[in-house]
Structure 1
Amino acid sequence: MTTPLRLGTRRSALAQAQSGQVAKALEKVAGRPIELVPITSEGDTNRASLSEIGGQGIFATALRDALLRGECDLLVHSLKDLPTQIPERLTIAAIPARADARDVAITREGIALHDLKDGSTVGTGSPRRIAQVHVRNPRLHTADLRGNVDSRLKRVADGELDAVILAAAGLGRLDGDPLGGLTGELLGLGEWPTAPGQGALAVETAADAPADLLAALAELDDEATRIAVTAERAVLEGLDAGCQAPMAAHAVIDRGHLRVRAVVYAPHDGWRIGLDVTEALHPAGVDAGNLDEEYIHPNGSGNGADSADGADPIGAARRIGFSVAHRLLERGAADLLPRS
């Protein structure tokens, strides 16, 4: 009998759903059964606001500890929750193709976020989303929100909240109709960019994992997604800001160029500092046409100083992300970011 691979996952319904999707794909390429190993993280037990407890690593630390203790063979994370610094003994062996990176505003009656009446309350625990709500509609209030998807939606259905903001990718990975009669408004990335890595999953394993496991995971890796999220996470790292910083970064590949839109927000007054740049990738040995993704046409370009040297598209994406962070800091973004 073939020994199953043990996949560590958080216990929430969403985490197990997305881990189950990765498990099915991995079973096909590895030819081995996959066993889910539920693990409780600090983020699942600490009900304090994410902005108060920092957010960085609270969903990943317990899973990584279990992996390093040998209790599982690999992990699946929501990439947006993963700190930018990866422990030396671990590696992100696969980043599958990204799902919808947008946020969704959920309401009872389908009223758009900008049309909600004065004093309406929007639930979210994300400093980025709080700031974006105030940009979109300064007349709204926000309320801190934790818990699983069902509990968040129930607070809207019961009238306790007028709206909640959730990730489209998470809703899409759940079975059935998670909205249950509520209405979702997809928020466009042009005016509402999302967290670095949002919509993408990271499959992590030991750096010295067996070669056959690493080879199987490599089959799940999507190069275009990895390039884009590498740039997004480099912006976050370059700003020296944690996962709960009031900032957004979204990148896409278009005809061999990488477009990065990044914004740093003041918490409540609508002030923000943003950049929208496009740099050439020129990845060696890669057909740029195979990396195209649908997106709004580029409307600006960077200065080219940090563009790729033609040898390494991942390295180029990282350099472009750091360049964007540097330029944001030059414009005063540090004054808007919390410091630990």
Structure 2
Amino acid sequence: MPTQPPAHPSQVRIGARGSKLSLAQTGTVQRRIAAALGVDPSDQAEVERVAPIVVITTTGDRIQDRRLLEIGGKGLFTKEIEEALMDGRIDCAVHSMKDVPAALPEGLCIAAIPEREDPRDAFLSRGPERLEDLTQGAILGTASLRRQAQCLHRRPDLQVQLLRGNVDTRLAKLAAGEADAILLAYAGLRRLGLGHLATSLIDPKAAPPAPGQGALAIETREADRDLPWVQALRCEPTTLAVAAERGALTALEASCKTPIGAHAWLEGGTCKLIVEALSPDGRLRFRHAGEAELSQLADPQESARALGISLGEAIKAEAGDAIVL
């Protein structure tokens, strides 16, 4: 039987992938959890005692020579970590929200979403400042079907080359000339202190990023979702925006085989959302935008999610099988 932590745990074990980026963003969460447990976040020895990080290698980390869609989808970055959570070997998991599938295993939940980093995609090249400035037939390196489709929609002449690996690996491949340009999540670059490497940033309204990009997901067992240390990690504006984006993800049954982007933001008590899906070759693009008033509602998160679902369903009805690889 899975072991259950006490109501007021003296230790919270955090599961995470072992990449440099994962450990950087998990370290931020680790210090916040330690502070919520009454520990000085600047005392690293005490932080590691009360909130130790348990590194777990996932299938997605092990297999680097194929697209995720060929080996089972984005859930391969979360599967082994979720198994450790269900077995009681860890008490929470820290994921990049964009890597979390729409459906979670029974008994688990996204219990907290901290304040979001910049959600935009970063364009990096060995010269040209923008995608539009690349030479005819230039090589674009990416492992993302969404980024591939969005770029081909704007530049159908580009050659897209599979480029997987961690941030350092992709930067090294760019420097070695394996691609003329690459796209990375700007949030990841910033968390690694590499934000200055971005040649330019992609307008998230013109080319919406992956649903939840820039946000972190704190996954726990359902029974633990409202523990005090979990509540201390929550950011309401980020939670509402991500709820809208993941609502679209749910409606479109999106996976690594479906190029979908979603960008939500709050203006006062209104949640605004743009959703787009494309054919994998970028030739066809389907876009819907909408908004929902949240301020007077009893459950603003459900209203934001409903907005995403409605826009996603509208695209699904319009596009049919055109957006599935």
Q: TM-score, normalised by structure 2?
A: 0.89
Deviation for aligned residue 1:223? 0.8
Contact 1:264 1:336 in 2 (8 A): no
| Residue 258 (structure 2) aligns with | 245
Q: Give the aligned CA root-mean-square deviation in angstroms.
A: 1.8
| Residue 313 (structure 1) aligns with | 300
C-alpha separation in 2, matches of 1:93 and 1:272: 34
C-alpha separation in 2, matches of 1:116 and 1:165: 13
Deviations 1:260-307 (A, max 9, x none): 100010111432010111222234xxxxxxxxxxxxxxxxxxxxxxxx
Deviations 1:62-106 (A, max 9, x none): 000011111111110111110111223112121001100000111
Q: Summarize the Cα distance change of 1:15–1:269 in structure 2 as closer, same or farther, 3 Å threshold.
A: closer
Contact 2:280 2:324 in 1 (8 A): no
Q: Summarize the Cα distance change of 1:5–1:237 in structure 2 as closer, same or farther, 3 Å threshold.
A: same
| Residue 307 (structure 1) aligns with | none
| Residue 328 (structure 1) aligns with | 315
Contact 2:123 2:131 in 1 (8 A): yes
Q: Which residue of the other structure, out of 136, 145, 169, is the alignment partner of 1:118?
A: 136
The 5 A counterparts of 1:121-160 are 121-160=139-178
Deviations 1:98-122 (A, max 9, x none): 1000001111224311110011101
| Residue 19 (structure 1) aligns with | 26
Deviation for aligned residue 1:209? 2.9
The 5 A counterparts of 1:62-101 are 62-101=80-119
Contact 2:129 2:199 in 1 (8 A): no
Q: Which residue of the other structure, out of 17, 30, 34, is the alignment partner of 1:10?
A: 17
Length, aligned pairs only: 306
Deviations 1:187-206 (A, max 9, x none): 11121111111100011111
Q: Summarize the Cα distance change of 1:132–1:65 in structure 2 as closer, same or farther, 3 Å threshold.
A: same
| Residue 281 (structure 2) aligns with | 268
Deviation for aligned residue 1:324? 0.8
Q: Secondary structure at the match of 2:22?
A: helix
Contact 1:79 1:202 in 2 (8 A): yes
- Give, as a single letter, the amino acid of the residue that structure 2 aligns with 1:86: L
Contact 1:83 1:243 in 2 (8 A): no
C-alpha separation in 2, matches of 1:326 and 1:7: 36
| Residue 206 (structure 1) aligns with | 221
Deviation for aligned residue 1:49? 1.3
Q: Secondary structure at the match of 1:57?
A: helix
| Residue 231 (structure 1) aligns with | 244
C-alpha separation in 1, matches of 2:323 and 2:225: 41
Q: Secondary structure at the match of 1:58?
A: helix
Structure whose residues are more often helix by fraction: 2
Q: Aligned pair 1:35/2:52, yes or no?
A: yes
Contact 1:80 1:243 in 2 (8 A): no
Contact 1:150 1:178 in 2 (8 A): no
Contact 2:210 2:260 in 1 (8 A): yes
Q: Aligned pair 1:184/2:199, yes or no?
A: yes
C-alpha separation in 2, matches of 1:132 and 1:77: 25
Instruction: Using the aligned pairs only, state the percent identity.
Output: 40
C-alpha separation in 1, matches of 2:157 and 2:225: 55
Contact 1:108 1:183 in 2 (8 A): no
| Residue 59 (structure 1) aligns with | 77
Contact 2:74 2:255 in 1 (8 A): yes
Deviation for aligned residue 1:335? 2.3
Q: Secondary structure at the match of 2:233?
A: coil
C-alpha separation in 2, matches of 1:261 and 1:183: 24
- Give, as a single letter, the amino acid of the residue that structure 2 aligns with 1:34: A
Where structure 1 has 5 or more consecutive residues not aligned to the other structure, the ranges are 284-309
Which consecutive segments of 4 or more residues in structure 1 shift more than 6 A? none
Q: Summarize the Cα distance change of 1:193–1:269 in structure 2 as closer, same or farther, 3 Å threshold.
A: closer
Deviation for aligned residue 1:244? 4.6
Q: Secondary structure at the match of 2:213?
A: coil
| Residue 221 (structure 1) aligns with | 234
